[in-house]
């Protein structure tokens, strides 16, 4: 990775190994070094944002959660599980140069057809699209901002 993109998230300090081949970033949730790809840069920013700004518990954030779709195993980039054990957010992360089009949103919707979270989110780090799922109709409505996840963690 030649340079680190400035993303549309607050500035966070990450542990990086830029002299490694390939460069690496410390994943504080999984407690291990990961290859620093553009998509991973976005994913780590999103996770920090959800935990530090939106009330998610770090221990309740999962990455690359397996999702069984039409007999094939796929992986949701980021999921957040509430205190009740139900997933409250499914997120799909893309590299900053990848446009957020209907295919990307459809991917998150497909994953959520199995996971049934009330919120889905797609981001390339520069642009974010968040939608709320209507439990009765199953339709998705865009939200103006990221959801506050703290209610999912109240006792």
- The answer as to whether 4 is a domain residue is no
CA distance 109 to 127: 18
Specify the DSSP element, H or E, that contains 96: none
- The answer as to whether 6 is a domain residue is no
Residue 76 near residue 65 (C-beta atoms within 8 A)? yes
Higher pLDDT, 13 or 1: 13
Overall domain count for the chain: 1
Specify the pTM.
Answer: 0.92
- The answer as to whether 46 is a domain residue is yes
Residue 70 binned pLDDT confidence (cut-offs 50, 70, 90): confident
Q: Which domain holds residue 38?
A: 16-153
CATH number of the domain to which 55 belongs:
3.90.1570.30
Q: What is the mean pLDDT of residues 26-34?
A: 92
């Amino acid at each position: 990775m030649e340079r680190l993109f400035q993303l549309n998230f607050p500035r966070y300090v990450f542990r990086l190994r830029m002299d490694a081949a390939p460069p690496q970033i410390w994943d504080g949730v999984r407690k291990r070094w990961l290859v620093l790809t553009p998509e991973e840069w976005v994913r780590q920013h999103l996770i920090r944002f959800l935990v530090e700004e939106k009330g998610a518990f770090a221990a309740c954030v999962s990455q690359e959660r397996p999702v069984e779709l039409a007999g094939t195993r796929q992986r949701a980039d980021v999921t957040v599980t509430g205190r009740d054990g139900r997933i409250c957010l499914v997120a799909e992360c893309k590299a900053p140069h990848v446009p957020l089009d209907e295919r990307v949103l459809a991917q998150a919707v497909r994953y959520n057809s199995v996971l049934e979270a009330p919120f889905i989110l797609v981001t390339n780090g520069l642009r974010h699209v968040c939608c709320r799922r209507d439990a009765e109709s199953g339709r998705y409505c865009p939200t103006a901002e990221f959801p506050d996840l703290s209610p999912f963690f109240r006792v």
